[in-house]
Amino acid sequence: MATRIVTLPGDGIGPEILAPAVDLLKRFVPDVTIEEHVFGGASIDAHGTALTDDTLAACRAADGVLLAAVGGPKWDTTDASKPRPEQGLLGLRKGMGLYANLRPVRPLPALYDASPLRREIIDGTDLLVVRELTGGIYFGEKTRTETTASDLCAYSAEEIERIARSAFEAARTKVTSVDKANVLETSRLWRQVVVDLHQREFSHIPLEHVLVDNAAMQLVSNPTSFDVIVTENLFGDILSDEAAMLTGSIGMLPSASLGAGGPGLFEPVHGSAPDIAGQGIANPLAMFLSTALLLRHGLNLESEATSLESAVDKALDQGLRTRDLGGTASTAEATEAVLAALG
């Protein structure tokens, strides 16, 4: 049966980076069927909601979902009753049961000088942020009056254990569990559940606990000390943007969101970059690397995934630099460079 992929271009630079990624995907999976749906702000404009029931059903029925980015000033509002593009993203992650968000941070030597950090600090970094994606403060009860507001941060032991398991399974040398157990009750439960699972099933893997503020500092002072970082939803969101700068640009970082069986969702870590949308200058590499993660985790095509990643590495080695990396290459030129590297 043909491979069915749902694509969600979203907003801003989304359509500009998704189109070439689909071209690449077709080279690796010639029989792929692409079903595109409006999503985020574009879906609010078309249907009044960021994620329609139809789109969610199509995503659940696909072999994988490729998403670019959502959001933009057009839909920014502080009015809680108005729809927001980001609600579509959260609804999709929750609706597909995608609790494990993998964000690999693998800076390439060719890009060491594109990072604001010194080469000797970055050199040898190869880490993975395992971000819990369907719980915590993102999904707790929200309240709002004229003068007060609250967002509940809640976690169950079951939610913590399954993400901790994903982290231990992905670990090569160590798991660093990041929390705020000196203040937050959710973090104290987090730590206890991680320790219990470690003792029961993964005691052969070194485990350490680092408080989130300290982790933020160590990510830029001693990034090579990390292997797998596992953390709750909000901490993982913030730490992964920070970690992206080790690779030179937020435009380099891909992600895979996986659940228990079922299709995965593959998307860059960055957003819709409204400040550069429509100019054809967005860096498409995080989108391409997310496509590689779709090949690997979504379609079980390991050698195809590696070929695509190697082509991105080669293009960068040969001098490809978009503006965010200090160069002048357009999105189209970056795409051509990767295609040429694929041979």
List the catalytic residue out of 94, 241, 313, 314. 241
Place of tokens 């470690």: 198
Q: Which of 63, 179, 237, 324 is catalytic?
A: 237
Q: Residue 44: CB partners within 8 Å, gap ≥ 6?
A: 50, 75, 83, 84, 85
Q: Compute the least distance from the CB of residue 321 to ligand NAD, in Å.
A: 11
Beta carbons within 8 Å of 147's beta carbon, 6+ residues apart = none
Whether 151 sits among the annotated catalytic residues: the reply is no
**Closest distance to ligand NAD from the beta carbon of 173 (Å):** 29
- In this structure, are strands 175-179 and 228-231 parallel, antiparallel, or unpaired? parallel
Q: Which CA distances in Å does 154 have to 186, 207, 336?
A: 6, 24, 46
Given a contact cutoff of 8 angstroms between Cβ atoms, the answer to whether 189 and 161 are in contact is: no
Assess whether 142 carries a catalytic annotation: no
* 3-class secondary structure per residue, 47-100: HCCCCCHHHHHHHHHCCEEEEEECCCHHHCCCCCCCCCHHHHHHHHHHHCCCCE
Please report whether residue 86 would count as binding ligand NAD according to CB under 6 A: yes
Q: Which of 89, 229, 337, 341 binds ligand IPM (CB under 6 A)?
A: 89
Pick the piece of the chain touching ligand IPM (CB under 6 A) from 84-92, 114-122, 193-201, 332-340.
Answer: 84-92
Is 155 annotated in the active site? Answer: no
- The reply to whether 98 sits near ligand NAD by the rule CB under 6 A is no
Q: Segment 53-72, which members bind ligand IPM (CB under 6 A)?
A: 71
Considering the candidates 112, 180, 227, 324, report the single residue annotated as catalytic. Answer: 180
Number of neighbours of residue 216 by Cβ within 10 angstroms: 17
Out of ligand NAD, Mn ion, ligand IPM, none, which partner does residue 153 contact, by CB within 5 to 8 A per kind? none
Q: State the minimum distance, in angstroms, from the CB of residue 133 to ligand IPM.
A: 7
For position 244 contacting ligand NAD by CB under 6 A, the verdict is: no
Question: Comparing C-alpha atoms, which of 130, 45, 129 is closest to residue 88?
Answer: 45
CB 156 within 8 A of CB 131: no
Q: Give helix then strand counts, H and E, for the chain.
A: 12, 12
Residues 217-246 that bind ligand IPM (CB under 6 A): 237
Can 213 be counted among the known catalytic residues? yes
Task: Find the binding residues for ligand NAD in span 35-74 (CB under 6 A).
Answer: 69-72
> Quick check: 269 binds ligand IPM (CB under 6 A)?
yes
304 binding Mn ion? (CB under 5 A): no
241 labelled catalytic? yes
Distances (CA, A) of 83 to 44, 160, 191: 7, 30, 35
Residues that bind ligand IPM (CB under 6 A): 71, 86, 89-90, 237, 269, 271
Q: Give the active site residues.
A: 138, 180, 213, 237, 241
